[in-house]
Amino acid sequence: MDRNSARQLVAVVGDLNTIFGALTDLLLGAAGQPWIYLVVVLGCIIDGFFPPFPSEAIVVGLASLMLAPGGPEPWLLLPAAALGAFIGDNVAYGIGRRVGTTRFKWMRAPIMVRSFDRVGQKLEQRAVSFILVARFLPVVRVAVNLTAGATGYSRKCFMAMTAFSATLWAGYSLGIGVLAGTWFQDSPMLGLVVAIVIAALLGLIADWVAGLFRRKAKLGTPANAVVAAESGQDQLVSR
């Protein structure tokens, strides 16, 4: 590398440091403002019935800044996230009860249609555990909440389950953020990025595990058992 290239590289690094420094100051400044908790509540509400909205990124990102000077207060961030998640889940339940699961275009997308079908079956089998686990799966939780309302699942039971799951989810999200913030306490912006990446990876892992359970459940269905039995009989006859 010649001197000119080295100077250009140093200049670029310096510019990046300036940009990240400005972003850090901006984020920290917003994180310490009282209205940031209202943003968290509203974000989690929207995420309850609109899958693309990244409430996890908001909560985890702010949690990663709690240890930094001027960061958000955990005793306010936790209830804000839990309250927003609870309201969002119950708004989705109300939408499902009122309009069903096919009214809007995004509900008719293939991934949502498959999710609604699977959710309807699971709610009949083990509704309580399914509602609790679904809170941690972004797309699945919307399908669960809408389907629970559309199928007439008990509102009281649903409210109790979502109150519990929303609190667990908020604590989990704050835990990820604090962990990342502790690792990168001297660089809040890097901790923010790492926290969001961790949350995304855990979400992918959760989806993968859920897929394994779905495939395992399919293999254990009576229809598959009958097919396997018939296959075994055919093999005996052929012998």
Q: How far is CA 87 from CA 82, 92, 167, 193, 224, in A?
A: 9, 9, 12, 27, 40
% of the chain at pLDDT higher than 70 = 61
pLDDT, average across residues 13-20: 48
Structure-token pair, residue 166:
């929303």
Question: pLDDT, tens digit, for every residue of 188-230?
Answer: 455 555 555 665 566 566 556 656 766 776 666 554 444 444 4
Structure confidence at residue 41 as a pLDDT band (50, 70, 90): very high
Angle (nearest 5°) at CA 111 between 106 and 115: 100
| Helices and strands, counts by H and E, the chain | 9, 0
Angle (nearest 5°) at CA 159 between 156 and 163: 145
Question: pLDDT, tens digit, for every residue of 122-167?
Answer: 777 777 777 887 888 777 788 888 888 988 888 998 999 899 889 9
pLDDT, average across residues 5-17: 48
Secondary structure (DSSP) of 77-133: HHHHHHHHHHHHHHHHHHHHHHHTTSSSGGGGSHHHHHHHHHHHHHHHHHHHHHHHH
| Whether pTM exceeds 0.85 | no
Structure-token pair, residue 185:
């306490």
Angle between helices 155-183 and 74-99 (to 10 degrees): 140
Mean predicted lDDT score pLDDT of the chain: 72
Count of C-beta atoms within a 10 Å radius of residue 239: 5
* Domain ranges for the chain: 3-219
